[in-house]
Amino acid sequence: MSVATRTINFTLNGAPVSATIAPHHTLLEVVRDTFGLNGARESCGQGLCGCCTLMVNGQSVSGCLSLAAFADGATVTTVENLAVDGKLSPLQTAFIECGAFQCGFCTSGFLLMATELLASNPKPTEGEIRNHLSGNLCRCATYPEVMRAVQLAAERMA
């Protein structure tokens, strides 16, 4: 099972980085194993749960299905980038206040998706929130609290 490796260069949470990867490595593995960022996590491994959500060139992707090779030259951000200088984003604060997580394993994905939503649609309806978060699953079923948190953050950011 010997495979050729190559080096990719990309921007990770604002800093230029490079990594040596094999063709089968996912972007999720590289972000976690090479750069020690643990916020994105593999759960279903099949693009079904959203626990592994990453932002690539401003677009949400399932990190478990994205090959690292395609990230060469891209801009990648993770949940670790949401707080600035230790100050939580309005969505992060709202998630804490509304109790929008239990075990927290899915939370990074919900936060990145909700951030993406509010960036393009600052006043989403309930239906729009549900639609945008429909690719994220939460086994603790904190959906009602997540809905409230997104609405609260939207109100505060208005």
Partner 1 sequence: MDTKVSPDQVIDAQQVGRSVPRMEGAAKVTGRAEYIHNLRLPGVLHGKVFRSRIAHGRILSIDTSAARAVAGVHSVVTGEDIRRIIPEPYYGPAFHDQPILALDKVRYVGEPVAAVLAADPHVAEYAAGLITAEYEELPAVFNEVEAATSSVYVHDELKPAITFPDLKHLKGKRNTNVALDYKLRRGDVAAAFASAAHVFEHEFHTQHIMHTPFEPFVALAEPLDDSVTIHTSSQMPAYVRLEIARLLGWPENKVRARTAYLGGGFGAKVYVKIEPLVVALALLARRPVKMSLTMEEQFYVIGKHATTFRIKSAITADGRIAARKCEVFWNGGAYADIGPRVSQKSGFTSTGPYQIECAEIDSAEIYTNLPPAGAFRGFGIPQLVWAYESHTDIIARALKIDPLEFRRRNILHDGQEHPTGTVMRDAEFDEVLVRIAARMGWDQPFDRGTGTKRRGRGIAIGVKASIAPTTSFALVNVSADGSAVLFCNTIDMGQASNTANAQLVAEVLGIAAERVKVTQADTDVTPFDMGTLGSRSMFHMGHAVRLAAEHARTQLEALCAEGGITYSGEQSVAQGFRKKFGMQAGNIFGVGHYTSRYQAADPVTGMSKEVTPFWMIGGAGIELEVDTETGHVTILRMVNVVDAGRAINPRVVETQISGAALMQMGQTMTEEMIFTSAGELTNPSLAYYKIPGIHDIPASIENEAVEAETRNGPFGSKGVGESGTFGVSPAIANAIDDAVGVRLYSLPLTPESIYRAICAARGEPLED
Binding site for partner 1 (CB under 8 A): 1-2, 24, 32-33, 36-41, 43-46, 48-49, 51, 78-80, 82-83, 88, 92, 95-97, 99, 101-108, 111, 130, 133-134, 136-147
Give the residues across from 67 on adjacent strands: 26
130 binds, among partner 1, ligand FES, none (CB under 5 to 8 A by kind): partner 1
Smaller CB distance to partner 1: residue 84 or 158? 84
Which of the listed partners (ligand FES, partner 1, none) does 6 bind, with a CB threshold of 5 to 8 Å by partner kind? none
The amino acid at residue 157 is: M
State how far the Cα of 150 lies from the Cα of 152, in Å rounded to an integer: 5
CB of 108 to partner 1, least distance (A): 5
133 interface partner picked from ligand FES, partner 1, none, CB below 5 to 8 A per type: partner 1
d(CA 75, CA 115) in angstroms, rounded, equals 16
Distance, C-alpha 33 to centroid of its chain: 16
What CA–CA distance (Å, rounded) separates 142 from 80?
A: 21
**Residue 60 interacting entry, from ligand FES, partner 1, none, C-beta within 5 to 8 Å by type:** none
Least separation in angstroms between residue 106's CB and partner 1 is 6
Binding site for ligand FES (CB under 6 A): 42-45, 47-52, 62, 64, 101-107, 138-140, 142
Residue 5 vs 67, nearer CB to ligand FES? 67
Half-sphere exposure (Cβ direction) of 70: Cα atoms closer than 13 Å: 11
Buried b (16+ CB within 10 A) or exposed e, 15-32: eeeebebeeebbbbbbbb
